[in-house]
Structures are given as structure tokens and as C-alpha cells.
Amino acid sequence: MIKNVKRFGAALFLTPMILLGACGGGDDSSGASGEEAADYPERDIKGVIQWGEGGATDNISRTLAPLAEEELGGTLVMENREGASGATGAQYVYDQPADGYTLLFGAENPNLYQVLGISERDYLTDFKPVTIIGQSYAGIVVREDSEFDSLEDLIDHSKENPGDITMGTSGEGGLPHVASAMLQAELGTEFNQVPYDGDGPLATALLGNEIDATVLAVSAAQEYVESGDFKMLAVINDEPLDSAPDAPAITEEYPEFEKYLPWGPFQGVFAHKDTPNEIMDKLTESFEAAQEDEEFQETLENLGVNPLNINGEEAVEYLEQNQSTSTWMLYDAGATETSPEEFDIPRVDEE
């Protein structure tokens, strides 16, 4: 059974100086010996969710954790360490010994940290993917009683009244931030952006009338849409989704977004880059088997998540493609002045 511990809050933003000055994590010498790896796990494993409660990453992680426990033969103690667009949790995991006893349950954001100047941490250089669970999609949502009944209504109002619409975001590199950058670049919109710590707090803020609109993973928004609390004005995709049949694809009204698509958030589990191979093998095998559970597969389907369950080199290639697509999309949209080229990130068509 998963042990729930007190959620750990963190400052919403960390300065690059703090992030860059954090200790550099473990190395091979701090990892487990061959004998220790054979007995792994001998104690509780900490699962660090880089976003707050109630969001897509939190929900998927906490659903998968008990299934992984059964395969591992150990206990996963899950906790939320949100803040700085997920960089607080990522840095924390990186700073722990590379022994497989601290895992990062994360989303796509670390792929963008470097070009946005948020953190020097990066999935491809600082972590090993245990598994990429699945890819989901983003939806633009408002309250059910909102004056905006279509995406066109929202866009037109924003263009005619710059800064009047309060758009909730999850910080730089989060879904609302990236989506807002695309909207501004292509349509000339301007929102008053207010940051929160992930999908859960964003949904609460929208319910509480603190914000006018936001962008959520469809998996996090769907329950509110089905309960009649939210309207989903569009999905950021080039075709409608079976999980959100009433929400049109953004390209139906604005075909200029086709060049950015397909694109969407993902969830995965990551270990420190220096974690011993023997422990990585056990983690990979356990999480792969856990995701084959039929009820878990149904859960992902109901949430509108495309199951991937990939690891090893396939997962690395997926991360590389996602990073190339996302970073160049932000750069081309004018959301960052730092070119991905500075970090040797090629365009997808140049790989």
C-alpha cells in the first residue's frame, strides 16, 4: 500500500543562481554495489512528483505506484515537491544518491529548462528514463458559466482587450505558457498570466474564479468537463479526440497551428543518470510489467492518454524528439530568445 506523506511545498520560482548552484547529485561511487543491486529494494523508495496534487502527473503517478510496488516487491512513498515549473522536484532527485531509492515522476517540462533559463537540469543529460508512461493532449478550458463559448470568442476578446483575460499558467515551460506563446505568435493575443503549481491548483483556481481560462492536460480537465464545471473550447491537436468529443481541434478554426502539431505533454519515471545498470534493469522491468495491468490501461484511455510504456533507447529517442519539437516551437514562437542550437538541440527534420 502506498504511504502518503505530507506534501512538500516550495517557492514558486527559484533563481537560476540557486538552481545552478545546487549540489551536483551522486555519481557512480554513491551507487549500489552488485550485491546491493541484487537485493534491491531493501528499504522504501521515494517517488517525487514534480507537480502538485490533483493534476495529470499526480493522478497518473499515484495510480501506477501501487502496481509498481507489487512488481518491485517494495514500497513507494509518494510525495509532491512542486515549484519552479517542476524544477524543484527535478533538482531534489538529482541531488540524492544515485542508488535507485529516489525516483522522479515527471512531465515534459525538464526538456525546456535550459532554453528557458529555469535550470541546468535536463532529462537527456542528468537522468535515465525508467519508463515513458504515455502522451496526452492539452485542452483550452474556461468555467461553464464563462461568457466565452468558443475559442474564437476567447481569442477575439483577448485581441480587442489586451491583458483583460487572466490566463492561469503552471510557470515557464508549462502547458499554458507554451500554448499562450503559440497563440500570441500566431494570433496576436495578450493574456494576463498568473502562475500556479500544476494542473490541480490551476483547476481549483478556475473553479474559484481566480482566473478566466487556462490550458490543462485533457486527462486532468475531463472530469471537470463531465461534471459540468468547465467548458473545453478546443484541444491543441490537429484532429478531435475520442476522450473529448465535444471539443474541436484547434486547427479547425486556426489551421496555422498545424506546423506545431502533433504535440503534447507526457508523463514518465526517471532515475539519476548514475544509477547502476542492475537497479535500472529491475526498475524498468517492474514498471513495464505494472503498466500492462488492464485497469491501468483503461484508466489511461479514460483520461485521454495515449499509452506508450517505452524504456531504454526507445525512450531516449522519444525524449530527443519531444525536446527538439518543443524547444524549437517556443523559439520560433518568440517565447524564448535562447536558441536551442546553443544546447546542441537540432530541429526534428535535421536529426
Specify the range with the lowest mean pLDDT, choosing from 19-23, 38-42, 87-91, 129-133: 19-23
Residues 239 and 279 in one domain: no
Range of the domain at 295: 3-136+265-350
Q: Which of 260, 286, 312 is the last residue of a domain?
A: 260
Structural domains of the chain, count: 2
Distance CA 347, CA 341 (A): 9
Residues 203 and 54 in one domain: no
Give yes or no for residue 13 having a pLDDT over 80.
no
Looking up residue 81, the CATH number of its domain turns out to be 3.40.190.150
For residue 106, the number of C-alpha atoms closer than 13 Å in the C-beta half-sphere is 31
Residue % of the chain over a pLDDT of 90 = 62
C-alpha distance from residue 104 to each of 77, 86, 109, 134 (Å)? 12, 10, 12, 15
Residues 129 and 182 in one domain: no
The pLDDT, as a whole number, for residue 31 is 47
pTM of the model: 0.77
Residues 155 and 242 in one domain: yes
Would you state the cell numbers that stand for residue 90, as one nine-digit string?
527535478
Whether 308 and 132 have beta carbons less than 8 Å apart is answered as yes
Residues 119 and 12 in one domain: yes
Task: Quickly state the pLDDT bin for 5 (edges 50, 70, 90).
Answer: very low
Residues 114 and 184 in one domain: no
Q: Which of 238, 260, 282 is the last residue of a domain?
A: 260
User: Which comes out higher in pLDDT, residue 332 or 267?
Assistant: 267
Residues 246 and 225 in one domain: yes
Looking up residue 182, the CATH number of its domain turns out to be 3.40.190.10
Kindly report the number of other CB atoms within 10 A of residue 45's CB atom. 21
Residues 65 and 161 in one domain: no
* Average pLDDT value for the chain: 87
User: Which comes out higher in pLDDT, residue 351 or 250?
Assistant: 250
Q: Which of 233, 260, 287 is the last residue of a domain?
A: 260
Q: At 80, which helix (H) or strand (E)?
A: strand 76-80
The pLDDT, as a whole number, for residue 350 is 53
Residues 94 and 53 in one domain: yes
Task: Quickly state the pLDDT bin for 222 (edges 50, 70, 90).
Answer: confident
3-class DSSP assignment, residue 158: helix
- Mean pLDDT of all residues in 6-12: 35
3-class DSSP assignment, residue 273: coil
Residues 36 and 177 in one domain: no
pLDDT tens sequence across 241-299: 888 889 999 999 999 988 888 778 899 999 999 999 999 999 999 999 999 999 999 98
The pLDDT, as a whole number, for residue 19 is 39
Closest C-alpha to 135, from 264, 311, 322, 314 = 264
Taken as a whole, the chain contains a residue count of 351
pLDDT tens sequence across 25-55: 444 444 455 566 789 999 999 999 998 888 8
Chain position carrying cell 512488481 = 71
Residues 122 and 10 in one domain: yes
pLDDT tens sequence across 132-181: 999 988 999 999 999 999 999 999 999 999 999 999 998 777 888 888 88
Residues 132 and 7 in one domain: yes
For residue 272, the number of C-alpha atoms closer than 13 Å in the C-beta half-sphere is 25
